[in-house]
Amino acid sequence: KLWQVTKQHIDREEENVQAAAALLKKREVVAFPTETVYGLGADATNEQAVKRIFEAKGRPSDNPLIVHVAKKEQIEQLVTHISDQAHALIDAFTPGPLTVIMPSNGVCARNVTAGLDSVGVRVPDHPVAKALLEASDLPLAAPSANRSGKPSPTTAAHVYDDLNGRVAGILDGGATGVGVESTVVDCTGEVPVILRPGGVTKEALEAVVGTVKLDASLHDKKEPPRAPGMKYTHYAPDAPLWLIDGDVVFFQAQIDRLREEGRRVGVIASEETSAHLRANRVQTCGSQHDLHQVAVHLYDALRSFDQDEIDIILAETFASEGIGVAIMNRLSKAASKTVQPSE
């Protein structure tokens, strides 16, 4: 069942939120919009309900889920301790696209944390998510509402494509605002560590708590990631994707070579680059000078090729700074290889 609940008309659509909340109380799973991507929610305190999330997504059970609460004051109900650094980050970026990993007090069901003694908590900054959390009066475990391995959903239509028939409902709040997932920061040690780059940049975190580290796996492919989810193939469209790390002349040469082999080539690139490229289909995802727009459109661009007769997708690389770190992290995970000009 697909419900329309626009951000602007949340009051008028109140009954849809109430119906979704009632399903959650009955241990069903419901998809809902957040400011980052759509989440697939279930009662985080109930193991049976949480199990349905893993089943609907086809998600490996060793990959822990993020828990969402309506207000930052509710975080303390789920953890044994909030460190000074965690407090400062929560105060600065909550509600918003930040997930903070803290020691779990066991209130969440065991399968939420996949057996870890820590739990990741976040307060989404979206009126529909907030209304649903308040109406259900539950902490909601919610991973991104995609089939495992696919790009995260940024519209209700993406959720429908992946999960129709596998969930009790979808609340439609329109397209999400940030486009990439929350930044996951581990605050259980001395220095906060970014396990997954996302909507809040490293620079912004450091302005609040001083030094913040990047998990070693984010710059060294040989290091095992500390966020279990980061080890799986992710964000992948149906066709293989290659990253093209060169100028437009090099990019066009790669397209031409593949088309001469008879392959239908799709391209994901900025406005600046795509203006110079000819391929079977060119999908533009914003300007190189506004990476926030690229983040907003990235997953929709990746998914857009699934409807097309495209054999291979070539994507541009973006500057690894600010939100670009999250964009490049997702593109690298979606890609099977990077093509560079030889010396």
Binding site for ligand TXA (CB under 6 A): 34, 36-37, 39, 63-66, 97, 99, 101, 113, 116, 118-120, 122, 124, 142-144, 181-182, 184, 195-196, 227-230
122 is in an annotated binding site: yes
Residue ranges of alpha helices (H) inside the chain are: 14-25, 47-57, 84-93, 127-136, 156-163, 202-209, 248-260, 271-274, 291-304, 324-334
Minimal distance, residue 152 CB to Mg ion, in Å = 5
Q: Which is nearer to Mg ion, 229 or 286 (CB)?
A: 229
Minimal distance, residue 53 CB to ligand TXA, in Å = 9
81 is in an annotated binding site: no
270 is in an annotated binding site: no
182 binds, among Mg ion, ligand TXA, none (CB under 5 to 8 A by kind): ligand TXA
68 is in an annotated binding site: yes
Of residues 226, 213, 239, 222, the one with CA closest to residue 311: 239
Q: Which is nearer to ligand TXA, 101 or 291 (CB)?
A: 101
46 is in an annotated binding site: no
Sites of contact with Mg ion (CB under 5 A):
144
Minimal distance, residue 325 CB to ligand TXA, in Å = 15
Q: Name all contacts of 318-322 with Cβ < 8 Å and 24+ positions apart.
A: 318/270, 318/288, 318/291, 318/294, 319/288, 319/291, 321/203, 322/201, 322/203, 322/291
63 is in an annotated binding site: yes
Minimal distance, residue 32 CB to Mg ion, in Å = 15
Residues whose CB falls within 8 Å of the CB of residue 207, separated by 6 or more in sequence, listed in order:
none
Q: Which is nearer to ligand TXA, 149 or 246 (CB)?
A: 149
End-to-end CA separation in angstroms for the chain: 55
DSSP 287-339: -TT-HHHHHHHHHHHHHHGGGS--SEEEEE---SSTTHHHHHHHHHHH-SEEE
- The answer to whether residues 194 and 215 touch, using CB atoms and an 8 Å cutoff, is yes
113 binds, among Mg ion, ligand TXA, none (CB under 5 to 8 A by kind): ligand TXA
Q: Which is nearer to ligand TXA, 191 or 275 (CB)?
A: 191
Minimal distance, residue 152 CB to ligand TXA, in Å = 6
Tell me the binding residues. Answer: 36, 59, 63, 68, 122, 142, 144, 152, 182, 196, 235
